[in-house]
Amino acid sequence: MKAYIFPGQGSQKPGMGKEIYDNIIESRNLFNKSNEVLGFNITNLMFEGTPEDLLQTKVTQPAIFIHSVISALTSKEFKPQACAGHSLGEFSALVSTKAISFEEGLRLVSIRANAMQEACQKTNGTMAAILGLENKIVEDVCNEIHEVVKPANYNCPGQLVISGEYNAVEKACQTLKEKGARRVLILPVSGAFHSDLMESAIKDLKKGIDQTEFKEPICKIYQNFSAKPVKDPEIIKMNLLSQLTGAVLWTQSVNEMINDGINEFVEVGPGNTLQGLIRKINPEVSVSKI
C-alpha cells in the first residue's frame, strides 16, 4: 500500500515551483490563482526570491503549500491510499485529498502563517533539535522545568525537537547535554512553534476553519496531533487547531501507517526531508518522490 506525505516549514528553496510552472501548462492556473487569493505575487518570490525572502513565515508556509499541492494535483501518479503531512503539510494533504478546495486551503494556510508570525512577535520563544537521546529522557527534562518548554516534533528515533520560552529551552539544552545528548542545536526559527506560546494563534485559525467547508477526504489522513487515521471532517478540524500548540507526532504517525499496511511512502513537494526521516524510522519500507 502507498501513502503520500507532504513536508512542512524548512523545505523551501529558491526557484521552487518554477520547473512545474514552465513544464506543466495546467499548473499555471493554480499558480496564478495563488497570487489572487493571497493578494501579493507569491509566485515571483517562489521563482526568483532569495533564501531570506522565503524565510518569512507568511511567505514560507503558503509557498510550500502551493508547491506541494500543485505537484500532487498535476501528477498522474497521485493515487493515495493514505496521506500525512508534517505540520503545515497536513493542509497540503487535505487539499490534495479533496477535503477542502485549493483556494480555501491556501486561505487557511495564510491565516495560520500570519497568526503564528504574530504569536512569535508577542513571545520570546525558540526551538532546539536534540539528537541521540531517548524520548522519555527529553520529556522528563522538559517536565522538570517550570517555564514553557515541551517536545514539539518527534521526527525520528533519536531526533526530537523541543520548543518553548528561550530561557527554558536553553536550560533544557544544558541539562540534555549533561545527560549525554549527541548534539543539541538551537534552531534558526522565529518562534516556539507547536508549544503553548502559539495559543494566541488558535483564535484566528478557528475563525477561518469555521468559515470553511470541509468534506470527507478520499483516503485516510494520519494527523500530527493524534497519529491516528481520520476521515471525519469534524475531528480533522479539531486536530488542525490542536496541532498549533501540540507536538507533531511524526514518528508515531509513520509507524501507525506501517502497522496499517503501508509499505511505500512518496514525498510530494519541495525537498526530501521526509524521505530521510522515514528511512530512519523504518529502513525496510520504500521511499520515493514526485
pLDDT of 181 reads 96
If asked whether residues 114 and 128 sit together in one domain, one would say no
pLDDT of 215 reads 97
pLDDT of 237 reads 98
pLDDT of 58 reads 86
Which stretches of 23-90 are assigned E, i.e. beta strand? Answer: 82-85
Per-residue pLDDT, averaged over 59-78, amounts to 94
Is 216 inside a domain boundary? Answer: yes
If asked whether residues 100 and 212 sit together in one domain, one would say yes
pLDDT at residue 127 tops 90: yes
Per-residue pLDDT, averaged over 13-29, amounts to 93
If asked whether residues 84 and 142 sit together in one domain, one would say no
pLDDT of 190 reads 84
pLDDT of 106 reads 97
pLDDT at residue 55 tops 90: no
pLDDT at residue 260 tops 90: yes
Is 247 inside a domain boundary? Answer: yes
**In the structure, what pLDDT confidence band is assigned to residue 188 with cuts at 50, 70 and 90?**
confident
Domain that holds residue 162: 124-186
33 grid coordinates: 490563482
Q: Look at the chain and report how many structural domains it folds into.
A: 2
If asked whether residues 51 and 103 sit together in one domain, one would say yes
Marked catalytic residue, from 110, 194, 226, 253: 194
Active site residue 67: no
**In the structure, what pLDDT confidence band is assigned to residue 250 with cuts at 50, 70 and 90?**
very high
Other C-beta atoms lying within 10 Å of the C-beta of residue 79 = 11
Cα 263 to the center of its chain, rounded Å: 22
pLDDT of 57 reads 84
**In the structure, what pLDDT confidence band is assigned to residue 16 with cuts at 50, 70 and 90?**
very high
If asked whether residues 47 and 131 sit together in one domain, one would say no
Which of 9-23, 48-62, 237-251 shows the highest mean pLDDT?
A: 237-251
If asked whether residues 107 and 218 sit together in one domain, one would say yes
At 28, which CATH number?
3.40.366.10
If asked whether residues 45 and 108 sit together in one domain, one would say yes
In percent, the amount of the chain with pLDDT more than 90 equals: 93
Per-residue pLDDT, averaged over 15-26, amounts to 93
pLDDT at residue 235 tops 90: yes
Q: Which residues are bridge partners to 3 per DSSP?
A: 82, 265
pLDDT of 56 reads 83
Per-residue pLDDT, averaged over 231-241, amounts to 97
Active site residue 194: yes
- How far apart are the C-alpha atoms of 207 and 31, rounded to whole Å? 26
**Domain boundary residue among 186, 213, 229?**
186
**Domain boundary residue among 146, 163, 186?**
186
**In the structure, what pLDDT confidence band is assigned to residue 10 with cuts at 50, 70 and 90?**
confident
Mean pLDDT of the chain: 95
Marked catalytic residue, from 87, 96, 226, 253: 87
- How far apart are the C-alpha atoms of 53 and 59, rounded to whole Å? 8
If asked whether residues 211 and 95 sit together in one domain, one would say yes
Q: Dihedral through CA 252, CA 253, CA 259, CA 261, nearest 10?
A: -160
Helices 233-245 and 201-210 sit at what angle, rounded to 10 degrees? 160
